Amino acid sequence: VAELNAILESEDADYLLIDIRQANEYVLGNIPGSANVPRGMLDFVINDEEYWSEQYLYPPEKDTQIIIYCKSGNRGILAALTLQKLGYTNVVNLEGGFMAFDPEFDESSATPQSSGGCGG
């Protein structure tokens, strides 16, 4: 977490921060500047220029520093291994995940952000 905070505070850092939780988890709370790519979709969209364009980002290069996180770190480990198998050489998992980054976050009291659509 300390290393991630240093990267986030650095103006020169070149990295991609990917939250691999489901969208409903992401909207409850996330690390600012992260892209939400659910783990089940990661393999399919990591190289997809159109997907990244919709996120206003470029697809990562094979040597881009990619920081993966999930809720507690377990899914992140699997996602990081997947990206390494796909040839990405600078992939790390945030140890402890979002819970370690924001230990005061209480998922049960979080209010989902409005998507702007109709819903109940």
Q: Shortest CA distance to 27 belongs to which of 98, 101, 111, 109?
A: 111
The DSSP line for 77-111 is HHHHHHHHHTT-SSEEE-TTHHHHH-TT--GGG--
pTM of the model: 0.86
Torsion over CA of 119, 34, 57 and 22, rounded to 10 degrees? -40
Q: What is the pLDDT of residues 16-62, one digit of tens each?
A: 999 999 999 999 999 999 999 999 999 999 999 999 999 899 999 99
Q: Shortest CA distance to 99 belongs to which of 19, 10, 11, 6?
A: 19
Where residue 120 falls among pLDDT bands split at 50, 70, 90? very low
Q: What is the pLDDT of residues 59-80, one digit of tens each?
A: 999 999 999 999 999 999 999 9
